[in-house]
């Protein structure tokens, strides 16, 4: 099986908010919440024919809780996400990322103010 992951990073607003944070426990909690939201939305948006793609989803905290990765471990996950010349992409990971980003921004703003 192929290991497929989509890592999106470098959002300037997120980096600016995280630099203002002095208590890393708040950041870690915000990242956990965002990861859970990303996992939930991505799993719901994953197209299901046999259920294999949805079951192969993995969520992993890294960098001592300061990062989160969501990936799918099937050899066809990238084709379903981005599409081919024969069918349009479903963008299930992108939807999860956008939901997680919104949750993270809200949580970080709550901790900053």
Q: In what order do the strands lie in the sheet with 67-72?
A: 4-5, 67-72, 57-62
Does the pLDDT at position 1 exceed 50? no
Look at residue 17 and tell me if it is in a domain: no
Q: Could you tell me the pTM of the whole model?
A: 0.76
Which phi and psi angles does 70 have, rounded to 5°?
-120, 130
pLDDT digits (tens, 9 = 90+) for 28-86: 888 999 999 999 999 999 999 999 999 999 999 988 888 899 999 999 999 999 999 99
CA gap 7, 95 in Å, rounded: 13
pLDDT of residue 113: 65
- Considering its fold, how many domains does the chain have in total? 1
Domain range for 30: 4-8+22-112
Look at residue 13 and tell me if it is in a domain: no
Look at residue 16 and tell me if it is in a domain: no
Higher pLDDT, 8 or 85: 85
Q: CA torsion angle for 92, 95, 97, 99 (degrees, to 10)? A: -140
């Amino acid at each position: 099986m192929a290991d497929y992951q989509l890592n999106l990073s470098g959002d300037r607003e997120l980096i600016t908010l995280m630099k203002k944070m002095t208590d890393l426990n708040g950041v870690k909690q915000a990242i956990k919440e965002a990861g859970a939201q990303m996992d939930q939305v991505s799993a719901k948006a994953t197209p299901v024919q046999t259920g294999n793609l949805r079951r192969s989803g993995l969520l992993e905290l890294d960098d001592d809780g300061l990062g989160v990765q969501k990936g799918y471990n099937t050899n066809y996950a990238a084709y379903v996400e981005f599409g081919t010349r024969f069918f349009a992409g479903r963008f299930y990971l992108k939807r999860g990322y956008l939901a997680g980003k919104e949750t993270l921004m809200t949580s970080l703003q709550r901790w900053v103010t």
